[in-house]
Amino acid sequence: MAGDTYMLRTGNPIVDNSVTFAWQAQYNFDITERFNATAGFDYTDITPKTGGTITGANEASDETKLKGGYLHTTTTLTDQLDFVAALRMDTHEHLEDVMYSPRLGLVLTPEEGHAFRAMFNRSFGTPTTNGLFLDILAGRIPITANVFYNLQANGIPQTGFTFNNTCAGGINNYCMYSAFAPGVQLPATGAALWDALIVPLALQNPTLMATLPLLGLNAAMFAAIVGNPQPGELKSYLLDFNSQNPSIPFIPSAGPQATARLRPTMNTSFELGYTGLIGDKVRLSVSAYQNQYKDFTGPLRVTTPNVFLDGNSVAAYLITRLTAAGIPASVASQLAAAIAPTAASVPLGTIVPDQRSNSDLLMNVRNYGNFSVMGVDVGMEAHVSNTVTLTGSYSRVSKECYDYDNDGTCTSSGDVALNAPTNKGSVGLNIDDKV
């Protein structure tokens, strides 16, 4: 029942009373004895009704209308050879271009019970409602008892997500928003929060607080010595939140990547196949194909990196400042070693798209590049006797993933699994002893 479902990570309820209305019209006709055609039109209206629990702020603008029309023809060229041709046209309310899907093929039937085919086909997969309009809190990343980062799953707006805003002094001049300074756009660098956050955090370190009186210093004096870092004195770098493996919460980042408006996934396929009945007892089907994908859509991934201070940079900075104030190098090194790891472990801010103004980490789907997959499918059904039927199938595909970084493996964080093993098969036995 809608409303009894909730998000495990947040406890927030999920309501889905969405409505889909669809109708179809089809007309089949023969122009000549050798030419058959089928024409049709279909219409679909999808209206999400989630009470704001799934599509959030998009609830009032997430209705989608899809329209499509097609013509499918079969021409008998000879008694054994048919030519198949079809064309489909589709429109999607929230996509820019009309989608055209052609299909061409030859079917050879040399004798009854045996057919060979060669096919070309192009089809489109349109973005889902979630891909376009999702707006849901997927989780929280606690930093302190009172500070956390939201992990927000979002669809892609028609503007896409861009990172054109610039802040001087940030990593590559990027800007960030921080959970420690809500609502304030800052340069994407740890130095921006050094005095306000890192120094007070360091002053909670027991080793530092026990050592300061021995050096004739107090907290204010320490803050003055190590405060106000100058450009270039502290280094920062970017890490991505690892939503796939909680045991490694942050992984190296390639930086923020603009996400364009979603496009439909195009699949161009070529197929050779055979279907036949052997000895009136065994039905065999074999096909070999190649699928060429363009702009395929992957799963939800975090696309907003977080800013961290470099630990070695922090240690070197502290040693330089402390020794310049007359503190022995050995003591300065000891204090730096106590402070730097903590300072480097805190996600100080999030580089977010121009369309956002908070520190939430964003997860969204996106279109990837082009790739192709080749495969073979074999199926068999054998009637061993009047009561026993043996079935079997085998499939092989050439790839298990979209290899994002082209390293020849499917283990990199950017790789996208295709949810199909390289090899799979099945064997079945059916016994029907009904009288």
Domain housing 61: 1-106+123-133
| 3-class state of residue 417 by DSSP | strand
- Residue 225 near residue 326 (C-beta atoms within 8 A): no
In a domain, 29, yes or no: yes
pLDDT of residue 39 exceeding 90: yes
| Total residue length of the chain | 435
In a domain, 379, yes or no: yes
- Let me know whether 148 and 189 are in one domain: yes
Output the DSSP codes for 294-354.
ES-B---EE---EEEE-HHHHHHHHHHHHHHTT--HHHHHHHHHHHHHHHHTS--EE---T
How far apart (Å, rounded) are the C-alpha atoms in residues 145 and 82?
71
- Which is it for the CA torsion 413, 415, 418, 424, positive or negative? negative
- Let me know whether 325 and 240 are in one domain: yes
For position 414, what pLDDT does the model report?
A: 75
pLDDT of residue 214 exceeding 70: yes
- Residue 264 near residue 95 (C-beta atoms within 8 A): yes
Two tokens at 434? 């009904």
In a domain, 58, yes or no: yes
- Let me know whether 169 and 226 are in one domain: yes
Alpha-carbon Rg for the chain in angstroms: 31
Burial class for 347, CB neighbours closer than 10 Å (0-12, 13-18, 19+): buried
pLDDT digits (tens, 9 = 90+) for 2-17: 558 888 888 899 999 9
In a domain, 264, yes or no: no
Two tokens at 77? 């060229």
- Let me know whether 334 and 227 are in one domain: yes
Q: For residue 222, which of 322, 315, 319, 337 has the smallest C-alpha distance?
A: 322
- Looking at residues 306-313, what average pLDDT do you find? 97
- Let me know whether 39 and 147 are in one domain: no
- Let me know whether 201 and 224 are in one domain: yes
pLDDT of residue 377 exceeding 70: yes
- Let me know whether 20 and 85 are in one domain: yes
pTM of this structure = 0.84
- Let me know whether 200 and 321 are in one domain: yes
- Let me know whether 207 and 290 are in one domain: no
pLDDT of residue 402 exceeding 90: no
Number of Cβ within 10 Å of residue 211's Cβ equals: 17
Please say which residue of 96, 115, 133 terminates a domain: 133
How far apart (Å, rounded) are the C-alpha atoms in residues 365 and 259?
9
- Looking at residues 191-212, what average pLDDT do you find? 95
Q: What is the mean pLDDT of the chain?
A: 93
In a domain, 266, yes or no: no
How far apart (Å, rounded) are the C-alpha atoms in residues 80 and 388?
33
For position 246, what pLDDT does the model report?
A: 78
Backbone angles phi, psi at 214, to 5 degrees: -70, -25
- Let me know whether 289 and 311 are in one domain: no
In a domain, 202, yes or no: yes
- Let me know whether 186 and 98 are in one domain: no
In a domain, 111, yes or no: no
- Let me know whether 252 and 217 are in one domain: yes
Is the pLDDT higher at 362 or at 415?
A: 362
How far apart (Å, rounded) are the C-alpha atoms in residues 131 and 299?
9
- Residue 110 near residue 274 (C-beta atoms within 8 A): no
pLDDT of residue 1 exceeding 50: no
pLDDT of residue 435 exceeding 60: no
In a domain, 272, yes or no: no
pLDDT digits (tens, 9 = 90+) for 81-138: 999 999 999 999 999 899 999 999 999 999 999 999 999 999 999 999 999 999 999 9
pLDDT digits (tens, 9 = 90+) for 124-174: 999 999 999 999 999 999 998 899 999 999 999 999 999 999 999 999 999
Which bin fits 280, alpha (ψ -120 to 50), beta or left (φ > 0)? left
Structural domains of the chain, count: 3
- Residue 378 near residue 286 (C-beta atoms within 8 A): yes
